[in-house]
């Protein structure tokens, strides 16, 4: 499995992170087999959040991985915090409490990466900075990032932080291309020219912040999977043709499409199916041509001016 650098962290990680949001649904032997398959494939970066399964996904992962010092040295663990019932909370107290909870459930002394999950408009960046300093000095968190934040929000945080933001987790895939659309439609009056994210793609490239693409197989905001959907019949057709051309599956081609972008994007898989995960891993070895990349982009219903 090839690797990439995660932001400016110095960490060399696989280009695909294993998303663990649904892990609690396959607890027991099936979870053990899934985690083992991921590690055997070289996909040893696991993405968690304190709210996944109400925290149970982290506990299930620790059990499935047979967490001990030897296992911990072979994997990367990322978790997120900041979402509470009916609110977002970036207070120092909540961040510290959330990390302690994740560490306990994951049965580890540290997180490789902690992300702030969804922007909190009541955020006081000085408090976040204090929390990060405490977590860093105690060794509980090695690196920090954000999720679903725009350039202005990251700039505000960076003004106070003593650590670099190494990642921003954003939804991106063939059927969710807003961060690309606006750049392709500069100086037009098309709806797709609207910059809704503050130019986050270019900002992250300029600042060496790794974009982690979540829900790459979904369209809309958790509206469903586009493969096989009547709404995306042309896209599914083109994906099937390209999968045959490159000798991988549909899942592999979608992976290759996401990773083809020169922003050096890291894709987060969401599957709990070991076979599908292997198909995704195979896609990391495919380098799609420019022509085929744009063919998929257009097949998703996008246009070029």
Q: Which residues, 6+ apart, have CB-to-CB distance to 46 below 8 Å?
A: 17, 18, 20, 35, 38, 61, 75, 76, 77, 78
Distance, CA of 169 to CA of 147 (rounded, Å): 4
CA gap 233, 266 in Å, rounded? 26
Interacting residues of 78 by C-beta distance below 8 A, sequence separation 6+: 17, 45, 46, 47, 48, 111, 112, 113, 114, 115
Supply 173's token pair: 């895939």
160 catalytic residue (yes or no): no
Do the beta carbons of residue 157 and residue 165 sit within 8 Å? yes
Asked if residue 16 lies in contact with residue 47, where contact means CB atoms within 8 angstroms, the answer is no
Distance of CA 146 to the CA centre of its chain: 10
Residues with a known catalytic role = 52
């Amino acid at each position: 499995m090839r690797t990439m650098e995660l932001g400016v962290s110095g960490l060399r990680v696989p280009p695909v992170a294993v998303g663990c949001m649904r892990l609690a649904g396959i607890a027991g032997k099936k979870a053990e087999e899934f985690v083992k398959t991921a590690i055997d494939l070289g996909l040893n970066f696991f993405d968690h959040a304190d709210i996944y399964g109400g925290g149970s996904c982290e506990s299930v992962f620790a059990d499935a991985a047979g967490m001990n010092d030897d296992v911990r040295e072979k994997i990367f663990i990322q978790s997120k915090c900041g979402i509470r019932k009916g609110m977002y909370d970036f207070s120092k107290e909540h961040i510290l409490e959330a990390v302690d909870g994740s560490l306990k459930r994951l049965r580890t002394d540290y997180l490789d990466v902690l992300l702030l999950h969804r922007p909190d408009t009541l955020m006081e960046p000085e408090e976040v900075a204090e929390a990060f300093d405490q977590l860093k000095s105690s060794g509980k968190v090695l690196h920090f990032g954000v999720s679903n934040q725009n350039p202005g929000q990251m700039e505000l945080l960076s003004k106070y932080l003593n650590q670099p933001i190494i990642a921003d987790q954003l939804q991106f895939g063939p059927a969710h291309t807003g961060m690309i659309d606006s750049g392709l439609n500069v100086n037009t009056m098309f709806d797709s020219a609207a910059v809704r994210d503050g130019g986050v793609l270019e900002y992250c490239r300029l600042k060496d912040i790794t974009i982690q693409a979540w829900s790459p197989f979904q369209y809309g905001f958790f509206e469903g999977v586009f493969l096989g959907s009547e709404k995306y019949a042309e896209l599914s057709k083109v994906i099937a043709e390209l999968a045959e051309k490159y000798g991988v599956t549909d899942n592999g081609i979608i992976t290759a499409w996401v990773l083809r972008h020169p922003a050096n994007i890291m894709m987060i898989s969401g599957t709990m199916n070991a076979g599908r995960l292997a198909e995704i891993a195979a896609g990391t070895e495919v380098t799609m041509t420019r022509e085929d990349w744009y063919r998929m982009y257009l097949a998703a219903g996008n246009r070029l001016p």
